Structure 1
């Protein structure tokens, strides 16, 4: 079977998953691109539907072959207009899947000894959260806790994270849930803010720590700043008064990793 019309009911229903409200209603979400789908497959996410274009590059063809091995899943070929309907990208990928949304439990997550955690509070741009996840994965963070803000399963988050949102322990939870969990595990908080004299590279990040970042334009609120054992800043030498939150995350995490080399 080949679907050629963007008005096809299955396609219209799948395309609605680009919207957060529909993802939350159905418990389904879109994954676009070979790398992202293969990373989802590697952790065992359930694929519900899959679509591919007529002309695939070798990587896309490999992904389609992997999807074709799944029981009860048929990969449906679609036309270029249909791919554009499903895609959240300017240049659509040749393969798109609909997956069932996982529901990882923060309450059941046991942080490792000397845990290095990242807490992202109220991020409003999906691309920023995706890039932050990518930085966290590269620096070897043990988990990311997303408090409020954008949906971790938005197409932009998945794309900008290159799919590591599936492999890196990532938990979306309320402010109270995260604070209670951090207290229960006696996790010291280090808050990033420009309103302090402590430069981040002078802070001791060798022990277990949760690094807390807020949105770029407002920063962290009083609740998180008051809960933190330590407040640190990234020194700014030029005219800009802030960095992209994913850059701040990378600087903080790699500094923690650098300090830990002597004890690892």
Structure 2
């Protein structure tokens, strides 16, 4: 059963506006998802919203959005989804972005615990440390989905605040790939220990690397590690890397955009592996999704 909200002073409206700020999202362990494509991907990957805010005047004006709204109505009849109906004026107030289609969902944070990640034969893992820009991380997620990686590990060094994985701009830039890619959030030192214990080769990408990325064996079990554009990888990764790989640069600049360089490395792995298929080991269960809230 839905609840109708008509006042801009409603506490739920004010709360959603506050969720634009990371501190409020982290305090509640929830994030905002808007847009037909992103919401569809969330539902396809069995993410159940805690709350759904709907402006039917907007949503029902578009056939694609209206179809998704019907799915939501069916879902709310069997799952504990709190539905709220809002006016166009209220929706304009709470919408994080334009062209949201009249739908805004609140989801609990989700991720997979590092030790719960099932390993395939010759796993293909991407590690991104201290990514600063939501647009970069969203673009990386799109590429990660396209390349079929086994997991994206988002990590941070001891003195960093950590990447805002659940920033609505990350979700938007990923076009919903944030829901299809297995994501782990962990501290850098824990990730290094985990990789070493499982004999996964660490390929640290750095402008000071000594092995061209196209000369690197990517058929083995690998973790490709990329870092912030401003600071690069922390010394921990550079010290513990099995290989420091480099993308050759012929011009005057010394680095590429993080999402571009990551895409080159991932697609080189795809090129080397070709049509090889890697199946999950039979004794490994599927990853357990951790949801807060």
User: What is the TM-score normalised by the length of structure 1?
Assistant: 0.93
Larger CA deviation: 223-232 vs 234-243: 234-243
Residues 156 and 67 of structure 1: CA distance in aligned 2, closer, same or farther (over 3 Å):
same
How far apart are 1:91 and its partner, in Å? 4.4
Please name the residue that 2:114 is paired with.
106
- Structure number with the bigger relative contact order (C-alpha 8 A, sep ≥ 6) is 2
1:34 and 1:15 map into 2 onto residues whose CA distance is 20
Please name the residue that 2:33 is paired with.
31
Alignment counterpart, residue 59 of structure 1, candidates 58, 64, 89: 64
SS in 1 for 2:114: coil
SS in 1 for 2:163: coil
Residues 240 and 5 of structure 1: CA distance in aligned 2, closer, same or farther (over 3 Å):
farther
Residues 60 and 239 of structure 1: CA distance in aligned 2, closer, same or farther (over 3 Å):
farther
Alignment counterpart, residue 210 of structure 1, candidates 220, 223, 233: 223
RMSD: 1.8
Unmatched runs of 5 consecutive residues or more in structure 2: 157-161, 278-293
How far apart are 1:75 and its partner, in Å? 3.6
SS in 2 for 1:69: helix
2:43 and 2:219 map into 1 onto residues whose CA distance is 34
SS in 1 for 2:115: coil
Matches within 5 A, 1:151-230: 151-230=164-243
1:29 and 1:7 map into 2 onto residues whose CA distance is 21
Unmatched runs of 5 consecutive residues or more in structure 1: none
Asked if residue 73 in structure 1 is aligned to residue 78 in structure 2, the reply is: no
Alignment counterpart, residue 124 of structure 1, candidates 132, 140, 149: 132
Mapped contact 1:64–1:75 kept (Cα < 8 A): no
1:200 and 1:209 map into 2 onto residues whose CA distance is 13
1:119-170 C-alpha deviation (Å, 9 max, x unpaired)? 0000111111111111111111110000033221110111111111112110
Alignment counterpart, residue 9 of structure 2, candidates 7, 10, 14: 7
1:19-62 C-alpha deviation (Å, 9 max, x unpaired)? 22222221221111111112111222221111123223222212
2:269 and 2:90 map into 1 onto residues whose CA distance is 46
Mapped contact 2:111–2:183 kept (Cα < 8 A): no
Larger CA deviation: 170-179 vs 72-81: 72-81
1:80 and 1:141 map into 2 onto residues whose CA distance is 40
Please name the residue that 1:50 is paired with.
52
1:2-34 C-alpha deviation (Å, 9 max, x unpaired)? 434333211111222222222222122111111
SS in 2 for 1:36: helix
The alignment of Structure 1 onto Structure 2 pairs a total of residues equal to 264
User: What is the TM-score normalised by the length of structure 2?
Assistant: 0.84
2:53 and 2:26 map into 1 onto residues whose CA distance is 22
How far apart are 1:263 and its partner, in Å? 4.8
2:40 and 2:176 map into 1 onto residues whose CA distance is 8
